[in-house]
A and B are shown apart, each in its own frame.
Chain A
Amino acid sequence: MQLARAANPMNFLEKTLAGFFRLVEHALDAEDIAKTRGFLQCLDPRIKFVGIAGLVVATAMVHKLWTIGMIFAVALALGAASRVSPLLLGKRVWVPVLLFTGVIALPAPFVTPGRVVCHLPGLGWPLTAQGLMSASYLVARVETAATLTVLLILSTPWIHVLKALRVLHVPALVVVIIGMAYRYIFLLLDNARDMLESRRSRMVGEMAGADYRRLAAASVGVLLSRTVHLGGEVYSAMLARGFEGEVYLLDDFRTRALDWIMLGFFAALAAAAIYYGK
């Protein structure tokens, strides 16, 4: 599912849309990974959900870099045992997260008061040790938490994630909204692609910036209106087949000894990280 490239470089809207299409492809790949035989794939989704959530909370609470590093190392090991390659994690998580949080963390070394370790060549701005440490914590925390979360999603079929949420007493309405959003995004993107391709097929030459922005804003409005309608249709189709807010699966979740061992491991790791990382 790719947008045909125009003769001119893609504009912002089309680039964004192309990025979303890649995301959809990734979502579909995730279902394939979830079906492979790997360590995390074998665990009961409820245990996996609770265990990984515990590690994410611990990652957010600790104040020592080595403890975050320890959790990150465990995440790497879990990924390797679950047939999720570091290359995939690098492309999907580490580089995008580094870029995103890097932008947020970038001012910290310059604006945080503390011991100056060096000055930025050319501009002469001082970099403080405390600022560098703050930026490192932010990036390390987000990278680790994102890695754990992506591992959970990659190793669990989407329908199991929804079911696990219900088992963990997340309200049915919230689960319905999450489930709908997953389906909704596909329809939204299909609509957006059709609209953009149809527009491009009727355009000759380049459009002026102001005109382009006006058209983009109008397109967003129309797209929103269409997708609200489609979202309603999807929900109607679910109701028509007896949906009452509950998620049912062909196979019930079953916990085995390994699940309880892993839950103990996740809990011990989170507790140790919080204790030693204070």
Chain B
Amino acid sequence: MGNNQNPLPLPVFEVREVTYRYRRVTALDDLSLSIPRGKRIALLGANGSGKSTLLRVLDGLAHPEKGTVTFCGEPLSEETLQNSEFSRRFRRRVGLVFQNPDVQLFCPTVFDEVAFGPLQLHWPRERVKDAVEKMLEVMKIPHLKDRSPHHLSIGEKKRVALASILVVDPEVLLLDEPTAALDPRSASQMIDFLVGLRGEGKTVVTAIHDLDIVQDIADQCIVFQTGKVAAQGSPDEILAQPSLLQQTSLLHAHRHIHGAGITHSHPHLHSHKHNPGEFEK
């Protein structure tokens, strides 16, 4: 999935002192962070910590009441997105996959759905047809192309939603809870896909709270708490801080990773057996 666009300069996004509120609820609170090019970033945080709002801000769908966001050094604001040339370039390079695929699927057929983005970007018709056919094959959903998205299972909808973004081969992929509400098989397929993005050179920002897959899908983690960055680091660094994970509601006290040297600090029942001495250093 290569493309012939000029490589994006570092960093892709620069968020400076951004505050965003939903009426009285502060979703992002004086937030500052950078998204470097070509990295796979996991935004970790409990529900309502501001992950999804940040993704919307990064995609130019929500505009902060305070602070600035830049994309490749250019301001990302309502005014700049009014410029068709900038808007088209931005939409071509950045794709957002929503948590709820239902809101993303609004065309009569799956084929139309996947073709929607390229058509909006004024691609030639033949190129659109080829790209859509190829993407349906890549996502293993060519058999769904004439189906109405409304009648698909949640797993199929997620695949179509992803295909509808990937078809324009964006350099930056924003994913909001990609495994949410999926059955184990569909979740596993989605994780395989995310793991496969390693080495593609894409910048991937994934909002997630499933700690089990973070090491597979991310090079760097940003932990959110009430609209602020609570910590940043590599997945290993973040996962090695159970107190941080508990404090940010990502980990319950009863949860532990066996064999990682973390001892039990509390009594609780297990549905499985521990080997003698397993948690002793």
Contact = CB atoms under 8 A, between A and B. Distances in A.
Given A31-B108, A250-B115, A250-B128, A240 B91 contact: yes
B56 A248 contact: no
Contact of B125 (A28, A236, A251): A251
Given A28-B148, A242-B92, A242-B117, A159 B100 contact: no
B34 to A, nearest CB: 22
Contact of B106 (A157, A237, A244, A246): A237
B121 A236 contact: no
A248 B120 contact: yes
From DSSP, what is the main secondary structure of chain A's interface residues? Answer: helix
B178 interface: no
A161 to B, nearest CB: 11
Contacts of B108: 31, 157-159
A242 B91 contact: yes
Contacts of B150: 28, 186
Nearest to B121: A242
A128 to B, nearest CB: 49
Nearest to A246: B120
Interface string A31-43: 1000000000000
A58 B56 CA distance: 50
Interface in A91-138: none
Contacts, number: 72
A179 to B, nearest CB: 8
A225 to B, nearest CB: 13
Interface residues of B, number: 35
B128 A183 contact: no
Contact of A234 (B95, B106, B116): B106
B87 interface: yes
28 contacts: A28-B151, A31-B108, A157-B108, A158-B108, A179-B106, A187-B103, A190-B102, A233-B98, A234-B103, A236-B56, A236-B61, A236-B103, A238-B106, A240-B61, A240-B91, A240-B95, A240-B96, A241-B95, A241-B117, A241-B120, A241-B165, A242-B87, A242-B88, A242-B117, A242-B121, A250-B112, A250-B129, A251-B125
